[in-house]
Structure 1
Amino acid sequence: MTEYGRGQGSEPWHPEDPLYGDGGWRGQQAHEGQQSPYDGQSQHYPEQPQHPQYGDWGDGRQAAYGQAQQQYPGQGQQQYSGQGQQSYDPHQQYDTGGWATGTHPQVPYTPDPADPYAQQAAPYGAQQPDFYGTPDAYPPPEPPARRRAEPEPRIDWDPGPDQGEHAFFAGGDDDDDGDEPGDRRGRGDRRGRGGKSKKSRSGCACLVVVLVFGGGLAGVSYFGYQYYQDRFGAAPDYAGDGTDEQVTVEIPKGASGAEIGRRLKDAGVIKSVDAFVAAQSQNPDGEPIQAGAYLLNKQMSAASAVEMMLDPKSQNNVVVPPGQRNVWVYERVDEKLGLESGTTKDVAEKRYKSLGLPSWANNNGDIKDPLEGFLYPGTYPAAKGMKPEAVLKEMVTRANEQYSQYDLDAKAKALDLENPLQVITLASLVQAEGKTADDFRKMAEVVYNRLKPTNTETNQLLQFDSTFNYLKGQSKIDISESEINSNPDPYNTYTNKGLPPGPIGNPGDEALKAALNPTEDGWMYFVATDGMNKTEFAKTIEEHQRLVDKFNASRDD
């Protein structure tokens, strides 16, 4: 028997096996010329029959490319799937038409020094299991040291949830395909001992899944609805005129609709800012909501809140008209705050220094009220619970803001006035004597012309009834000459030259601008010819007399 290589016993398989890696070329080189230690007899195990080995296509010799039969630890003779097992005499020759048959010695290979099992040969004649036809047939099994633990055998009975099987995957019902007829009794016995069936566990699992998916769907639906409401739905709003509980809401000057809505929402008047903004835009009169304090009901609809804020009755404000004296303002504050008459005036006299007057105010000891001319015309919050000094301070602050827009020091010098206070005083005279905005600049020129040292018409006497009425706390047109000429009070411009010690009222913006920019037409005189609203001007004493006659004629009618 011709042999191209001889086995040296079963060697452990190794990943770097040359026969496994390169088709057997290295195995052929390693075994050529070696003598068998068994006198030419092929190595085999008598306990197991040998099978013919079919080599690759070659020159008619078996294992033409040096491919030898491989033996692995614990592995027996190869069995081919789909073919019956063949038994034959190991020494018998068969006529194969030129094919060499017979047993084949194993090809030795160099063992891996790192493998502790590489130097150990399998015991001769040892019984080795046949792995062919089993799941371990290919690839060859690993050495024992590297071999993974055998998988646990599959069992046909339900280990139950305490054995690690999840209830959801336990099965459908008692008629599972995997149950053998003989197993039904055993499963029933287990249920009788308190175990749960697969059907009940599956039902619980399905219930959990339904609850989870149902909760998720409900959450998505809720947030989707909220998103739709925020984008396309109507803004949340109360209905009706609200409750009987009322609150005061202060609206600052220049507040936008959104700012007003936020203040109303914080006070509990409306439900949402968006509802108020929408209601204000839909109301044709809703745009000019003025600054001030408003007495409103709680939980009102936005539309009702807008209508109520437009009603003067709901406005808890003090409105200071241009030209009004401080005495009138004090009385209005007392009324709005629900205080005893005279309370605010008393606060003004005692605390005026803490209300923020400018440094050039109250620079004359004859001034009757240091705050006169500094309670600037406008609308101010004045609701019950507020303090008088808070309301007054807001007015003084507004006056400082308005007056600071002009360089009153420079203006005073340019107009031959002593200080900024005289500018405000002159503006208060223009406001008191003028009837219309068109009159203001002419009236300012009359004042400046009478203050001039070259005035020989009135000899620097203003001769204004308004100043006399101020010191008297009255408003009269007909004042006797004897009454006027007998009163030496500094505010009496019939008996005292120049301007009065301080303002006689609170001038508005138009009067102040007129005082800073008078006409230059030579006006010296003026008369309210209708006694009320119509003022006519004259440059000479003769023209003035004709205006006086016209006034007297209107009174006789």
Structure 2
Amino acid sequence: MSTSDNNNKDHKNNGTNKPSKLENIKKSHKELVDRRGEEARIVRKIVSIVLILLTIFIVVGGISGYLYIRSALEPVDSKDDSKIEINIPLGSSTSQIASILEDNGIINNSMIYRFYIKFNNAAEFQAGDYTLSPSMTLGEITEKLQTGTVMKEAVLRVTVPEGKTIEEIAAIYEENANVDKKEFMEKVNDRTYIEQLIQAYPSILSDEILEEGIRAPLEGYLFAATYQFYKENPSVETIVEEMLKKTEEVVTPYLEQINEKDWTVHEALTMASLVENEARSEEDRKIIAGVFYNRLEDNMMLQTDPTVIYALGEDIDRVYNKHLETDSPYNTYQNVGLPIGPISNFAENSITSVLEPEETDYMYFIADDDDGEIYYAKTYDQHEALVAKYLRDRD
């Protein structure tokens, strides 16, 4: 065989064994497709696992929630017919009633019971003494509370007017409920007792009432109302706690508004006590609240006379210039901003006036010495003119 023939044969073999460029491209494409297919399968597996887990979570959560609610709606113990005596005080809210029932083992869950009451439009629960059982259904309990016997007639009725200090309230109970005023004041100034009350009424009471300089921790927190008692000689604790329950009942609907103003309950009640002592009508209270806001925004002193009277700690008919110099955290002629705490209790329209004040440009106001008529001014010069016209000399 010639050399030429061998070369031709080698050439043919090389052409047969070496992959062409097109074949390489096809091979790479196939590998890419295979790799992407494998990745897609992995992704589908992951998604499937996640969906399965999510479905299991939802199902388990739904079943757990269903079982929780069903359990709360069932009797505490259908086999337990033991009799439990409970008392629903007058003026109790549905929330308080639910808590009493749960605390006494009559229902499983106070929150679920409140929803049950709302869903069934149950209302007009009767205050009184009841004999209930853990075996009773929510429907039976609700019916019992709606048709129960109202508590017996009150032995004592004591009316506490608006704008009263805690010392004046103590005197009212001494006169009308045979309660020793000194004992009353000692109890409401007992730090240990006050700390217990803060724990019991956290929505309205806070450590602010124990700040240094506060004259009486519960000043302003004993709401003005008529209170009924079913014992001839109610204890100071009974009186105080009945009054705090009333304050809680009145203030609670306004907690969201108070929070929106970025105020504490203590600050809101302090402002309400000032408005209470400065005006008689709701119209004037709203305007005066607006004046106070204007002065606070301008970093001006509130300069309200009732705070001076409270700072003095004595009942005076008229505030003179010498009184304005009284050194006290309550004196708004000496301190910028609100006083350290309330100076009296208040009517509900005083708190609404504080939360919904009349917006005006007034910066000043005075009350006529003769008839109590209130006059407003936008400027200091206008204010001075009103002072000269309607107020007697303060010296």
**TM-score bracket, shorter-length normalisation:** 0.5 to 0.7
What secondary structure sits across from 1:317 in the alignment?
strand
- In structure 1, the residue matched to 2:165 is 325
Provide the aligned C-alpha RMSD in A: 3.3
**CA–CA separation in structure 2 for the residues paired with 1:293 and 1:548:** 52
Correspondences of 1:123-162 after superposition (within 5 Å): none
Deviations 1:319-375 (A, max 9, x none): 111221111111112233323331111111122333334365341332211111211
Q: Which residue of 2 aligns with 1:379?
A: 226
Give aligned-pair identity as a percent. 28
Q: Please say if 1:548 is aligned against 2:387.
A: yes
Looking at structure 2, the residues matched to 499 and 389 of structure 1 have their Cα atoms a distance apart, in angstroms, of 30
Query: 1:477 Cα shift?
Result: 4.5
Query: Is 1:424–1:503's contact at 8 Å kept on the other side of the alignment?
Result: yes
Larger RCO (CA within 8 A; separation ≥ 6): 2
Q: Give SS of 1:493's match.
A: coil
Give the Cα separation in 2 of the matches to 1:393 and 1:532: 38
Question: Any unmatched runs of 5+ in structure 2?
Answer: 1-87, 93-123, 130-150
Residues 1:464 and 1:554: Cα distance change in structure 2 (over 3 Å): closer
Does the alignment pair 1:252 with 2:56? no
Question: Residue in 1 aligned with 2:364?
Answer: 525
SS in 2 for 1:376: coil
On the 8 A contact 1:435/1:533 being kept in 2, the answer is: no
Alpha-carbon separation, structure 2, partners of 1:500 and 1:361: 16
Alignment-derived partner of residue 105 in structure 2: none
Match of 2:266 among 421, 439, 458: 421
1:358 aligns with 2:202: yes
1:461 correspondence with 2:305? no
The question of 1:470 aligning with 2:305 is answered no
Matching residue within 229, 234, 238 for 1:390: 238
1:530/1:554 contact within 8 Å kept? no
Rounded to whole Å, the distance in 2 between the matches of 1:502 and 1:434 is 19
Where structure 1 has 5 or more consecutive residues not aligned to the other structure, the ranges are: 1-249, 264-290, 296-315
Alignment partner, residue 495 of structure 1: 334
| Code of the aligned partner of 2:215 | K
Do the aligned partners of residues 470 and 341 (structure 1) sit closer, same or farther apart at CA in structure 2, a change above 3 Å counting?
same
SS in structure 2 at match of 1:506: coil
The CA distance in 1 between the partners of 2:343 and 2:219, in whole Å, is 7
Distance 1:418 1:515 in 2: 11
Contact 2:272 2:351 (C-alpha < 8 Å) held by counterparts: yes
Query: 1:402 is matched with which residue: 250, 261, 285?
Result: 250
The TM-score, its normalising length taken from structure 1, stands at 0.41
Q: C-alpha separation between the residues in 2 aligned to 1:528 and 1:498?
A: 21
Q: Aligned match of 1:337 in 158, 177, 183?
A: 177
Corresponding position of 2:101: none
With over 3 angstroms needed to count, the CA separation of the structure-2 counterparts of 1:326 and 1:341, relative to structure 1, is closer
Q: How far does residue 389 in structure 1 lie from its aligned partner after superposition?
A: 0.7
Contact 1:484 1:494 in 2 (8 A): yes
What amino acid is aligned across from residue 446 of structure 1 in structure 2?
Answer: V
Preserved contact between residue 412 and residue 422 of structure 1 (Cα < 8 Å) = no
What aligned pairs does 1:135-284 form with structure 2 within 5 A after superposition?
A: 252-253=90-91
| Aligned CA distance change for structure 1 residues 516 and 347 (closer, same or farther; 3 Å) | same
- Contact map agreement 2:308 2:323 (CA 8 A) in 1: no
SS in 1 for 2:189: helix
Does 1:512 find its partner at 2:356? no
How far, CA to CA, are the matches of 2:164 and 2:185 in structure 1?
15
Distance 1:411 1:251, change over 3 A: closer
Task: Provide the rounded CA distance (Å) in 2 between the counterparts of 1:552 and 1:402.
Answer: 36
Other-structure match for 2:187: 347
Q: How many residues align?
A: 249
Conserved 8 A contact 1:344-1:388:
yes
- Aligned pair in 2 of structure 1 residues 353, 445: CA closer, same or farther (>3 Å)? same
Q: How does the TM-score come out when normalised to structure 2?
A: 0.56
Matches of 1:533 and 1:384 in 2, distance apart?
40
**Is this contact kept in 2: 1:323–1:431, CA < 8 A?**
yes
Aligned to 1:212: none
Contact 2:332 2:338 in 1 (8 A): yes
Q: Cα distance 1:413–1:389, how it changes in 2: closer, same or farther (>3 A)?
A: same
Q: Does the residue aligned with 1:324 lie in a helix, a strand or coil?
A: coil
Separation (CA, whole Å) in 2 of partners of 1:259 and 1:475 = 43
Instruction: Find the residue that maps to 1:342 and give its secondary structure.
Output: helix
